[in-house]
Amino acid sequence: MLKRTSFVKRVNVKTINTSSLLQIGDSSEIDSLSETLAVMREVPLFFGYEGHFRFPVFSRDITYPPLYEPLIKLTTNINGKISVDEVNVIGTGASAVIHIGNSKNVFLENRRKHIRDLRKS
């Protein structure tokens, strides 16, 4: 893990959403998952059995695009610290991370199914 220290004078976060994280300090691993089923109807009529996650979006494998170029990164930490006066966050989305510190591994996943049920004209 990186050998760097973070100095933040003030953190102001208004809203942390579903499956989101505010992490202050170092972490070895962050693993965040959010699955959302959103049903919107023009006429607000709900039957009670609609909250099942049986849609393919919740079970299929995630495919990552192939890397065609080698990833080369060179980082030089001259004094080994990051200094920030203030961090202001209005809100986070699902499965988001606000992290102050070092991370070794981060995995974030958000799967969402929107259903729109509109009247037929």
Q: How many residues does the chain have?
A: 121
Instruction: Find all residues with CB under 8 Å of 29, minimum gap 6, and list them.
Output: 103, 104, 105, 106, 107
pTM confidence score: 0.65
Q: What is the model's pLDDT at position 49?
A: 72
Q: What is the mean pLDDT of each run of 10 residues along the chain (121 residues)?
A: 80 86 88 84 78 86 86 78 90 85 86 85 67
Inter-residue contact 43 to 118 (CB < 8 Å): no
Question: For residues 1 and 104, what is the distance between their CA atoms, to the nearest angstrom?
Answer: 6
Inter-residue contact 20 to 32 (CB < 8 Å): yes
